[in-house]
Amino acid sequence: MEDVEYEPVYATARDTMYAYTDSSFDEIRGTIGKYTGVIVISKEGDHRQVIFETDDGYAIGWMTSGAFSNCLLYDGREKQILSDGTYMFRCGYADGTDGGASLKNQTGMDGYASYTFVLTYITDNDYYVMEQDTGRYLSVEKDEDWQLCWTDEPDSEYGVFHFARNSGSFAMQSALCRLFVGENADGKLIFFTNRVDDASHWRVSAVEKTLSTSQPMVFTQYDPEWCGTAYGSGGCIGTAGCGILATVNAVYALSGQYMDVMELADYAVEKNYRIVGSGTDDGIFKAACKKFGQKYNFAWDGQSGSIDLLKEKLQDGDVAVVHVEGHYVVIGAYSKKKNKYLLLDSNYLPKRATSAYGDWISVDRLLSGSLEAQSFYFFKLRDNVE
């Protein structure tokens, strides 16, 4: 039986293994496939009861402690299209030839009518939307027609808005009435019945670095969503994708935008940044900024081997991809109080003494051992508040 008080743990099987009907391990319940995910729902000693994939859907079985030790943990939280944080919203597209900078708002004036919203995630890319200046929440009401309104508290039915990406823009849609939020000629938020008008496309830019230093999201190579997917002509994301996942982690920590893992991996293969038998050439980092920076709101901010410059850049709002021994990781923040750096590792290993959930490390660990930093590649926000 599932232990309802047990906090679920998410992991990926590195090899094919058996699941058993109970913790006596006398009868096989099914087979857990290589690079597929399991959710641990209870524990007996060192043995785990797990939910695993089958040909017909999902089943519940038991894994021995030895089998579970051959699994890698990953963060099982939902992948948010935008992380919780504060964003500037402007009508238009972020992926135009000039990043949308020349678009005019609906009044015909140069620039944009802008709105600063604080987004709080609910589930399935549904959010509460709070106006930063007033502290009031966007909601809907119905008189003869559906209309937008503002409330003092978030409403779990009327105040839920769904976000979806269409390349370089986002749609914001009421989860209740399914109408799209846009801007009229007077700069007022109104509903649109569809998303064909430019005024219902939103260019979304983080006001500041969005990384949660208390509970950072770390996307791992061993997430079953892409772990076993081929990365070029040899190997897969799980075994060779640290450069790809480092970029994804850096962008998410910086701009709050969830970057498509396989979109980046396919680009790396296409442009010959994939090195079969090794991993990814470090040229991918600057190239990713040029190719995807407008879409995901990040930009190149240089390369260095200086620890002092790392600290300076982090305090100015940058994040850094870091080349360590045979691997790429991300450093997203520096804490002056702790005198430590927040490191995000997409493939934690005992020799690096890292985890799947982010680690505060001292500068000494960046100067020697398996985490000795060889080079820093800096990303900054592309669209800062002007």
pLDDT grade, residue 277 (50/70/90)? confident
Contact 119, 85 (CB under 8 A): yes
Given a cut of 90, whether residue 137 has pLDDT beyond it is yes
Give the pLDDT confidence score for residue 194 in this predicted structure: 84
Higher pLDDT, 186 or 211: 211
Mean pLDDT of 198-220: 94
Give the pLDDT confidence score for residue 89 in this predicted structure: 94
pLDDT grade, residue 95 (50/70/90)? low
CA separation for the pair 261, 248 (Å, rounded): 7
pLDDT above 70 covers a percentage of the chain that reads 93
Given a cut of 90, whether residue 189 has pLDDT beyond it is yes
Query: Locate tokens 């496309």: which residue?
Result: 201
Give the pLDDT confidence score for residue 109 in this predicted structure: 40
Higher pLDDT, 322 or 114: 322
Contact 267, 285 (CB under 8 A): no
Token pair belonging to 192: 């649109």
pLDDT grade, residue 94 (50/70/90)? low
Residues 278-298 pLDDT 10s: 899 999 999 999 999 999 999
CA separation for the pair 233, 229 (Å, rounded): 11
Give the pLDDT confidence score for residue 164 in this predicted structure: 96
Encode 304-318: b = buried (16+ Cβ within 10 Å), e = exposed.
beeeebbbebbeeeb
Residues 106-131 pLDDT 10s: 344 444 578 999 999 999 999 999 99
**What is the rounded average pLDDT for all residues in the chain?**
92
Given a cut of 60, whether residue 346 has pLDDT beyond it is yes
Mean pLDDT of 272-279: 93
Given a cut of 70, whether residue 31 has pLDDT beyond it is yes
Given a cut of 50, whether residue 105 has pLDDT beyond it is no
280, 285, 291, 292: CA torsion to nearest 10 = 110
CA dist list (Å): 227 to 5, 77, 230, 235, 282: 29, 17, 8, 10, 21
Token pair belonging to 144: 């003869």
Higher pLDDT, 94 or 98: 94
Side chain identity at residue 206, one-letter code = A
Mean pLDDT of 358-383: 96
Give the pLDDT confidence score for residue 1 in this predicted structure: 57
Contact 223, 12 (CB under 8 A): yes
